[in-house]
Every structure is written in C-alpha cells, then in structure tokens.
Amino acid sequence: MPEKKLVIAIGGNAIQPAGDSGSAEAQRHRIEETASKLADLVQAGYDVVVTHGNGPQVGNILLQNEEARTRVPAMPLDVCGAESQAQIGYLLAQALRNEFAARRIERGVAAVVTQTLVDANDPAFADPTKPIGPFYQRESDLIVKRAKGWKLMEDEVRGGWRRIVPSPEPLDIVEKDVILKLVGDRDGNVVICAGGGGIPVVRRNGRLVGVEAVIDKDLGAAVLGRVLGWKGLVIATDVAQVALGFGKPTQRFLEHMTVAEAKKHLAEGQFPAGSMGPKIQAAVEFLESGGEYVVVTDLEHLVAGVDQKAGTRITKA
C-alpha cells in the first residue's frame, strides 16, 4: 500500500489573493477555508506537513517598515521573513486545531519557524532578480534606497521602481531533525514549516547567519520533502491543472507528465519563470531526489488531486 505522507505547498495568494485587503480577518477567513481542505486529507488518513508562500505578507511587512522607518528601526529581510512565518503559522495552526476539534480528529499541530541553508557563493547573490516590497516613484526615495545599497528595477508597466533581491537555491532545512521528531510522534503531528521557502541562512565560520534574499517556496518544499524522505508533494496553486500554451488558443490541460516531459516543456519555455516554471522545476528536483509523485492543482481539488481524480500528476516515468 502506498505511503500516505504528503508535503503540501500552499501559495501565498491562497492566503491573501491579489486585491484582497490583507487584514487579519481577511487572511483568517482564507486560512480557515484552507484548513478545511487540509483537514479533509487528514481525515482521509494522510500525514501532512504544510509549507506556504509569504509574498503578500512580506510585502506588507516591508511596507510597514518603510512607513515607520523614521520612528523605529527597519528590520532586515530575513527577520521580515521570520515575522511572516510566525504570522501565517499562528493563523493556520489555530484554524487547523479548530477544524480538527469540530471533526473530532485527534492530531497535534505545530508551527516551526524554519531556516533554510543556502550557499554563500550562490551566483544569485551577484545577480538579484526577485522583486519585493512596495513601488517607489519619488526621486528622493530612490536616492535613499540606492544609498542603502539596494538594487532597484524599474517596472514600466505598473510604474515605479522596486527592490530586487537574490533568490538562491535552497540546500537543506536547518530544523529538519525537529520536524522529523514532530511528525514521527505516534499521533502524527501536523507541522507547518519552511514558510516562504524558509528564512535564508548561510554558514560563516561555523555560525548560521541570515542573508538578504528570498527562497522560492516551491523549491523549498522540494527540499523539505527530500530531507523528510517523504514520497508525495502537492503544490496547491490558483489553477486546477497545468497547461501547455496557457492562455493561447492552443491551450491544452495536462493530466499527467513524466520528468522527461516536464524538462522538455521547461526547455521550450512552456512554463514561465514568474508563474508555473518554479513549480515544475520543484517537481523535477523532488522526483529526481527520491520522491515518487507530485500533484499540481488548486485548493478546491486538493483531495481529488491526491486521489488521481483531478489536477496534474507528475511522475518519474
């Protein structure tokens, strides 16, 4: 019988969709909907570890930093990532506990603020590409940001400049032993961890040091699955299935892909870097490091996707 253990990666927009107010109550409402879907899987007998995106939340924290910078010290990006992990982890853990109580499911829930190891010599540090935070239009703001050593990129479509930071490859999960102990408990705790791909850290002279960078959430989830030794990865996004020719008259949805097919489609540019690309790349890396299957679907079809009745399933062959 297949092992019923899943790493589930939830997109940050599932918690705070574009155009949403981002208030605590709005996020709580979205998270309660997410918790209900996760509880369906737990009720079906699955052990789950949950990771999540944090882009909108970190963006809000950075904006709060900027607005209050003349009154309180702004926090570095690694600390902002930790704040967002704790914020989402708290709301999701509470929602899951409430959902479990309502269904009489006896499972513990723990949120772990998680560090992800990256290479200090990763080429991404010399070539920042990931836009984060608010847009800046005023010349005075741009002068201040450049003086702080920020790299900035102009967005001609939406107008203004945004900070760009490195997005290095995740290598390892620092708290993996703690997470393994929590999920290995006889009651099978649900663990929320590695939010936003994890807080990026490097080793310097034997010490862990946070760095100003952002890790891709899906690539972080692939590493999490590898270090846990679990065989299934579910990437919950805002579309029910992966498509070739997305948005074009030739659009075709896929029920199944092999690793070889996924690599071919990636090389052909079928999956853009800013949307489906990292998800498919994460699927490939997970499967090539010991995973058995990846499901890409939306939250509505989460259970059906795991049961091979919806979504796109990616396997080794």
The per-residue pLDDT for 77 is: 93
SS (H, E, C) the chain: CCCCEEEEEECHHHCCCCCCCCCHHHHHHHHHHHHHHHHHHHHCCCEEEEEECCHHHHHHHHHHHHHCCCCCCCCCHHHHHHHHHHHHHHHHHHHHHHHHHHHCCCCCEEEECCEEECCCCCHHHHCCCEEEEEEECCHHHHHHHHHCCCEEEECCCCCCEEEEECCCCCCEECCHHHHHHHHHCCCCCEEEECHHHCEEEEEECCEEEECCCCCCHHHHHHHHHHHHCCCEEEEEECCCCCEECCCCCCCEECCEEEHHHHHHHHHCCCCCCCCCHHHHHHHHHHHHCCCCEEEEEEHHHHHHHHCCCCCEEEECC
pLDDT in tens, 7-53: 999 987 667 776 777 788 888 989 999 999 999 999 999 999 999 99
Q: Whole-prediction pTM value? A: 0.92
Structural domains of the chain, ranges and CATH numbers in brackets: 5-117+174-315 (3.40.1160.10)
Share of the chain above pLDDT 70, in %: 96
The per-residue pLDDT for 123 is: 97
Judged against a pLDDT cut of 90, whether residue 2 lies above it is answered with: no
- Out of 12, 133, 198, 291, pick the active-site residue: 12
Judged against a pLDDT cut of 70, whether residue 68 lies above it is answered with: yes
Judged against a pLDDT cut of 80, whether residue 56 lies above it is answered with: yes
The per-residue pLDDT for 147 is: 64
Is 274 considered catalytic here?
Answer: no
- Out of 54, 55, 59, 130, pick the active-site residue: 130
Is 151 considered catalytic here?
Answer: no
- Out of 37, 145, 176, 217, pick the active-site residue: 217
Query: Average pLDDT of the chain?
Result: 91
At 140, the pLDDT band (50, 70, 90 cuts) reads low
**Mean pLDDT of the region 240-262:** 95
Is 309 considered catalytic here?
Answer: no
Judged against a pLDDT cut of 70, whether residue 1 lies above it is answered with: no
- Out of 13, 108, 210, 277, pick the active-site residue: 13
At 256, the pLDDT band (50, 70, 90 cuts) reads very high
pLDDT in tens, 166-221: 999 999 999 999 999 999 877 789 999 999 999 999 999 999 999 999 999 999 99
pLDDT in tens, 234-250: 999 989 999 999 989 99
Is 89 considered catalytic here?
Answer: no
- Out of 59, 198, 279, 291, pick the active-site residue: 279
**Mean pLDDT of the region 293-298:** 97
Is 60 considered catalytic here?
Answer: no
